[in-house]
Structure 1
Amino acid sequence: MKYIDRVLGPNEEIVYETGLHWIIFATPMAVLAIAAFAAADLGARKSTVAGFVFFAFGTVGVIALVKAFIRWATTEIAVTTHRIVLKRGLIARDTIEINFNRIEGLDVKQTVLGRIFDFGTVVVRGTGVGLQPMRDISAPIELRKAAFGDLATSPRVAQR
């Protein structure tokens, strides 16, 4: 059972759910691509340098890919009828739950690449909680719309 489903209060429903964007896998995949090119060169020339590059980039790439997958699989983001909930972490859990009456503003920051691929950082400005950034969020504009009531009357929308 998901964390968000377990912490719902009475008369509280999930309005919108999203998660991390697939872009978090781009850097580990690029590092693994370099390792693959080094492996091809190693097979063709039996170069010691290519062997070192293959081993180093392959090891770093696999570790980064596993970390990105764990981050992607263990992050839950939802807008309910009463609050915004963010849960991240596998062993150590980090949660942010901000009631709507404590939210002063919600900022969306997107780079050009973020606009093209529909991901970005959502910064929740809350009374007494300061700034709470949520990075690499899929469909951040939809999250903002859901938080400010544009989607609040629609059924659960899952975006992952």
Structure 2
Amino acid sequence: MPYPDDLLVEGERVVLHTHPHGKMLAGPVLVLLLVVAVCGFLAAVVREQTWAPVAWIALAAVGTALVVRLTLLPVIRWRTTHFVVTTRRVLVREGVLSRTGIDIPMSRINSVQFRHTVLERVLGCGTLVIESASDEPLEFTDVPRVEKVHALLYQEVADDT
């Protein structure tokens, strides 16, 4: 059973399943390009030296460590972050090895708001604010198509009452 279907109870169905907006991957991709460019340049600079093979191995090790830490891990974090709206609740799950999650029943949601900057409007994302009956408002950043998600969530809350 695919995720998040294995989290559903009887009679519940997924209305929306999304990951954070791809804009959060812009930095990691730029880091990848920068690391490759710098390592390639430095490898070319030392190619005439007698110790070039050692330098290339060191460059490869440092470059790989930087790419793993600054590119691969954020991509994995993005891919394993789920924002799910079902007919009964809102679920958010994050993490690979240690997971965190929150479930908000539709019946507990008091209000749903969204906001986005000019850049976020151009990119088609924003922040979704859900106010529930017992907690302080929860903010979910980088939600793709935030206005549609807001309208969908509002509809589900209205249908639940």
State the TM bucket, normalised to the shorter chain: 0.7 to 0.9
Equivalent AA in structure 1 for residue 151 of structure 2: K
**TM-score, length of structure 2 as denominator length:** 0.76
Q: What SS class does the counterpart of residue 41 from structure 1 fall into?
A: helix
Q: CA deviation at 1:58?
A: 6.0
TM superposition shift of 1:53: 9.3
Aligned to 1:12: 12
Aligned equivalents of 1:2, 1:70: Cα separation in 2: 18
C-alpha deviations, 1:103-153, integer Å up to 9, x for none? Answer: 122222322221111122222111112222222222222211111118x99
Q: Which has the higher helix share?
A: 2
What SS does the aligned partner of 1:67 have?
helix
Q: Name the structure 2 match of 1:71.
A: 77
- Paired with 1:115 and 1:100, the residues of 2 have a C-alpha distance of 27
Q: TM-score normalised to the size of structure 1?
A: 0.76
Q: Does the Cα contact within 8 Å between 1:18 and 1:139 map onto a contact in 2?
A: no
For 1:130, the equivalent position in structure 2 comes to: 136
Query: Closer, same or farther in 2 for the Cα pair 1:104/1:56, shift >3 Å?
Result: farther
- Cα RMSD (Å): 2.8
- Gapped regions of structure 1 (runs ≥ 5): 154-160
Which one scores higher on RCO, CA 8 angstroms, separation ≥ 6? 1
Look up the match of 1:102: 108
CA distance in 1, matches of 2:101, 2:71: 23
Q: Look at both structures and tell me which one has the larger radius of gyration over its CA atoms.
A: 2
Taking the aligned partners of 2:59 and 2:134, their CA distance within structure 1 comes to 49
Q: What one-letter code is carried by the residue in structure 2 that aligns with 1:15?
A: V
Answer yes or no: is 1:22 the counterpart of 2:22. yes
In the alignment, what sits opposite 1:115?
121
* 1:21-40 matched pairs, under 5 angstroms: 21-40=21-40
Offset, 1:16: 1.8
- Three-state SS of the structure 2 residue aligned to 1:149 is helix
Task: Tell me the CA shift for residue 27 of structure 1.
Answer: 0.7
